[in-house]
Amino acid sequence: MKVVRDPIHGYIELDELMLSLIDSPPMQRLRRIRQLGLSNLVYPGANHTRFEHSLGVMHLATILTRQIDSVSQQEKDELRAAALLHDIGHGPLSHVTESFITQYTRQKHEDVLHLLRKGEIAEILDAHGLSSTTIQKHIKGETDLGKILSSEIDVDRMDYLVRDSHYTGVAFGLVDHVRLIHEMQFYENNLVVGSGGVKAAESLLVSRFLMHPSVYYHHVSRIAETMCIRAIEELIQKNAIKPTELRQMDDSDMLHIMRYDDGHSGDLARRLEERKLYKRALYVGFEEVTEGVLRHRGNIRRIEAEIASMAGIDPTDVLIDIPRSPEIPELKALVKLNGRMVRLDEASYVVATLEQAHWDNWKMGVYTPKEFREKVGKAAREFFEVKKTTKQFRLTEL
């Protein structure tokens, strides 16, 4: 048994199985993939990796399974292995490349069975009598035990919220995960939170709500990611990047290819490296555009060209970012109250109010180089039929 020091959880114990898996190439690749992609352009400390997050998730899963007496040691080992390996399917810059993996391979980053059945990982699992199929199901939350790792409230969320808060310096990740884990149990084959854990569950959801606009959907991060996605898209079209190879690449591999492109992708890469980002020509929420704007998500390139034409500039100088509608699966988490199961949003008024609040946080953006900001903003407002809103003044401004 060995231990490593983690800034979030303190000492993390690693047995022979975990040490062997950690030393495998797919796990070591995660050392070179930043957890928050390009968020370090906003928060300089946000350079933590998928590797340390994976260690944290494994640690929390280990603690939780110790509370369960009804499963064998092999089953616990398979869950711990799943927790450690759950992110090996991520591409460079984490979620930045996820849409390409899904589009071209028809697999999500959780689909890692092919990685579990080859190379060192397969040999290690076989040597310990562990099932790669079961581990895959755990990663996708398709088993009762796997709900610890992937469900409405799971150890994955607990670790990344606290860890991302720590490394960005944003003091919103105040999740009492120790209390929450202590209050989690299986009841009628469902992973539920005991009545004593409701406040801890509330802290997790409030933290997630506050972290979204401050970190995950910060406008500078969204601009940088949108620029990066466009560059990767063009490199794939030029066959400079093969989408099927993304899961073997790390951040440096991706940025190297982008940097040495002699076209528009290279220009975008240099802008990212020098932090000369596009600016917001339009940045609005559902109070200014209707939810019908979501239907445009499948026609982004056509709309960019149309707005560019209206503004009299090159289509490459317009980037549109329309996020998906907000999803809050945690609302459906089950709480055990007085011997019966109820949804978390039924057990907590605080949680129930967060659903609308998430919709209020939603923003779409149209981005362009600084010199085109005014005319692109005018064209974008006209195209999206942006409603005028009443400006509210503070008393000190009157």
DSSP 8-class letter at 151 = S
Instruction: Tell me the DSSP string of 365-392.
Output: EEEE-GGGHHHHHHHHHHHTTPPP-PPP
Give how far Cα 173 sits from Cα of 54, 120, 161, 210, 352, Å.
18, 36, 5, 8, 20
> Which residues, including other chains, have CB under 8 Å from residue 254's CB and lie 6 or more apart?
91, 92, 93, 97, 232, 241
Distance between CA atoms of residues 155 and 159, nearest Å: 6
Instruction: Tell me the DSSP string of 193-229.
Output: EEGGGHHHHHHHHHHHHHHIIIIIT-HHHHHHHHHHH
Bridge partners, residue 58, by sequence: none
List the alpha helices (DSSP H) in the chain.
Answer: 16-22, 25-29, 50-65, 73-85, 98-105, 113-116, 119-127, 132-139, 155-168, 177-182, 198-211, 219-237, 251-259, 264-274, 300-311, 344-347, 349-361, 373-383
Residue 243: other Cβ atoms inside 10 A: 16
Q: Which of 255, 183, 229, 242 is nearest to 367 (CA)?
A: 229
> Among the options 109, 177, 218, 358, which is catalytic?
109
Residue 134: other Cβ atoms inside 10 A: 20
Query: H/E element holding 250?
Result: none
Catalytic residue list contains 90:
no
Query: Dihedral sign, CA of 163, 166, 168, 173?
Result: positive
> Which residues, including other chains, have CB under 8 Å from residue 272's CB and lie 6 or more apart?
38, 41, 224, 227, 228, 258
Q: Are 78 and 143 in contact (CB under 8 A)?
A: no
Q: What are the residue numbers of the active site?
A: 109
